[in-house]
Homo-oligomer: A and B are copies of this chain.
Amino acid sequence: MEYTVQKLGRLAGVSTRTLRYYDEISILKPARITSSGYRIYGQAEVARLQQILFYKELGFSLERIKKIVTDPSFNEAEALKEHREQLLEKRKRLDMLIVNVEKTIASSEGGMTMTDKEKFEGFKQKLIDDNEKKYGEEIRNKYGDDTVNKSNEQLKNMTQKEYKEVTRLENEVTTTLAEAFKTGDPAGDIAQRAAELHKQWLTYFWSEYSKEAHAGIAQMYVDDERFKVYYDKKQPGTAEFLRDAIHIYTGFKK
């Protein structure tokens, strides 16, 4: 069976323009061309178009589809997995957008024209709460209530600038750590920078810093499920990696 553009288009549910475009970008060339210049497609082209449309439905770009369908040695499984990661990232961003839109709706409906200061206060409180939830009990048991209260006091008294700095630091720790993890070497420059950043971050919550306590926290990251989950979220093994890096950084011996 042979098809002209329109016939193939109807068969597959795409426009003739699309087929001409696919010809143009060499992702689907017609089997032959008549003397008068008409594009004629055969069975093989039908199958290939199906394949193209399949990947399109999965949200692949035509460029990537081209590589998959034209290069037979292409690793399809890997492409799929990578693509999935991208989709998950996309959804994460979308989720954040939705949350923010909903927050905005809520605040605009409440007639609360939150000033930046109020917004900031809210974030600050949330940070304290989160911190308390995540680490409070553990630290309370180990160091007593005083330390924690002092830490929280410290946080509450943060200026806006410091707040920005601490959240920035937190992000930098995680990104640097992820980068370092790829190298696989906890003694490497990047890993040591992550450890240094982690110390800096820590000093925002601890009134005094000691290498021993820092090394202790690092070990706790591995031993305690809650910490481990937090750090291993993106890459299993990250908690151990951070511990090793910090132990090297603080000169702690195993």
Chain A residues in the interface with B (C-beta under 8 A): 57-59, 76-77, 80-81, 83-84, 87-88, 90-91, 94-95, 97-102, 104-105, 108-109, 133, 179, 183, 188-190, 225-226, 229-230, 233-236
Contacts and interface: CB of A to CB of B under 8 A. Distances in A.
Nearest to A176: B95
21 contacts: A58-B97, A58-B100, A58-B101, A59-B97, A59-B101, A77-B108, A80-B104, A80-B105, A80-B108, A81-B105, A84-B102, A87-B94, A87-B97, A90-B94, A91-B94, A94-B94, A95-B179, A225-B234, A226-B233, A226-B234, A229-B233
Q: Which 9 residue pairs of A and B lie closest in terms of their CB atoms, listed nearest first? A: A84-B101, A80-B105, A59-B97, A87-B98, A91-B94, A58-B101, A77-B108, A229-B234, A80-B104
A97 B105 CA distance: 28
A133 B235 contact: yes
Contacts of A59: 97, 101
A170 B80 CA distance: 21
Nearest to A105: B80
B102 A95 contact: no
A133 B189 CA distance: 24
Contacts of A188: 99, 102
Contacts of A83: 101
Given A59-B101, A77-B108, A91-B98, 19 more contacts: A57-B100, A58-B101, A59-B97, A76-B108, A77-B105, A80-B108, A84-B101, A87-B94, A87-B98, A87-B101, A91-B94, A91-B95, A98-B189, A99-B190, A102-B188, A133-B235, A225-B234, A229-B233, A230-B234
